[in-house]
Amino acid sequence: MLDLVAALGLALVVEGILFAAFPDGMRRAMYEAAHSPSDRMRLVGIVSAIVGLGIIWVIRQFG
């Protein structure tokens, strides 16, 4: 449970830094995401989740 809370906190830190450093770029990225087809968003979400699980697995096995 602590790992989940730490991961959520880290995600907020990274997102906050991106919004603070590149507000116009993040606005454009959010606009593009909002206007992307649902199928593309679903595919990006699935691929991101699989890559994230792969990273976690590698860290847990060899870290």
Count other C-beta atoms under 10 Å from residue 2's C-beta: 6
C-alpha distance from residue 49 to each of 19, 22, 45, 58 (Å)? 22, 24, 6, 14
pLDDT over 90 percentage in the chain:
89
pLDDT at 12 over 90: yes
**Domain boundaries defined on the chain:** 2-62
pLDDT of residue 1: 84
| Residues 32, 24 contacting (CB under 8 angstroms) | no
Confidence of residue 63 (pLDDT cuts 50, 70, 90): confident
pLDDT of residue 9: 97
